[in-house]
Amino acid sequence: QVQLVQSGAEVKKPGASVKVSCKASGYTFSGYHIHWVRQAPGQGPEWMGWINPKTGDTMYSHKFQGRVTISIDMSVTTTYMEINSLTSDDTALYFCAREGMAARLRTEAFDIWGQGTLVIVSS
């Protein structure tokens, strides 16, 4: 079935980096944008950026520009999100999500989500 499966929880110290993976299966990987969204404890979702698997093009939220890198490995249908210079404010559940398509057009809505990866930043 169509699914996104993310890597496991991470505990990092302030100043470190973390790289989370998101493996897609069950659909044509190149046909759909993949977005990354995070959710801090008790807060709403926050969009971080997207990647177009077909072209490798990326776009980032201004908040994360320069500190987050989204990349892709087509050979294993996997997207990665790396965030540098971690602080305690980066403690959150990180999700990858597929943007849907309808009639060959992007829907601007996320129809398939990964299960989430908890990143804890603590000294």
Which residues are near other proteins by CB under 8 A?
Answer: 44-47, 61, 93, 95, 97, 100, 102, 107-111, 113-116
Q: In the complex, what is the shortest distance from the CB of residue 113 to other proteins, in angstroms, rounded to a whole number?
A: 4
Query: 19 or 106, CB closer to other proteins?
Result: 106
Query: 42 or 75, CB closer to other proteins?
Result: 42
What is the SS3 assignment for the chain? Answer: CCEEEECCCEEECCCCCEEEEEEEECCCHHHCCEEEEEECCCCCCEEEEEECCCCCCEEECCCCCCCEEEEEEHHHCEEEEEECCCCHHHCEEEEEEEEEEECCEEEEEEEEECCCEEEEECC
Query: 10 or 46, CB closer to other proteins?
Result: 46
Q: In the complex, what is the shortest distance from the CB of residue 86 to other proteins, in angstroms, rounded to a whole number?
A: 22
